[in-house]
Amino acid sequence: MSAHLLTELTVFILALFVGIEVISKVPTTLHTPLMSATNAIHGIVLVGAILVAGLANPPLHPILGVVLVVMASLNVFGGYTVTERMLEMFKPKAAPTPTDGKRG
């Protein structure tokens, strides 16, 4: 294994731990937006898609390149839009109710 690969593996494993740590603090109420948010984040594969489809002398047929970028973009833009729509809806009590006296 090259030193370079080892560095990348280190980054990967540490990121896994950070992921577990951060995600375990998300309440059940937000699990659907969480899924959707992480779904959008793996749209980062669009970076890979651009690098494969857009470089000079691309290895894939241009049409395949377009399909690849379309798929990854769907993931990014669709994913973020859906998440945004979901989160928009999460509100605390809309109007203070009679029992909610503390607000004064």
Partner 1 sequence: MTSDQIANPVDIAYLITGICFILGLRYLNSPKTARLGNRISMLGMLIALVATLTQGIVGWWQVGVGIVIGAAIGIYSARVVKMTAMPQMVAAFNGMGGGAAAMVALGDVLRLMRDSGGTVPVDQGIPIVLSCAIGSISFAGSIIAFLKLQELMTGRPIQYPGQQAVNGLIALIIVASAVAVCASYLPETAFYVLLAASLLLGVLFVLPIGGADMPVVISLLNAFTGLAAAMTGFVLDNNVLIISGALVGASGTLLTVLMGKAMNRSITNVLFGAFGAAPKGGAATEAAAGGGHVRSGTADDIGVMLSYAKEVIIVPGYGMAVAQAQHSVRELADQLEKKGVEVKYAIHPVAGRMPGHMNVLLAEANVPYTSLYDMEDINPEFARADVALIIGANDVTNPAARNVQSSPIYGMPILDVDKAQNIVVLKRSMNPGFAGIDNPLYENPKTMMLFGDAKKSIENLTSVVKGL
C-beta closer to partner 1: residue 88 or 104: 88
Burial level of 39, CB count in 10 A (0-12/13-18/19+)? middle
CA torsion, points 88, 92, 96, 101, in degrees to nearest 10? -160
Contact 82/75 with Cβ under 8 angstroms?
A: no
Structure tokens at 40: 């959008």
4 touching partner 1, by CB under 8 A: yes
In angstroms, give the least distance from the CB of 90 to partner 1. 4
The residue count for binding partner 1 (CB under 8 A) is: 87
23 touching partner 1, by CB under 8 A: yes
Per CB under 8 A, which of residues 57..76 are in contact with partner 1? 58-60, 62, 64-76
8 touching partner 1, by CB under 8 A: yes
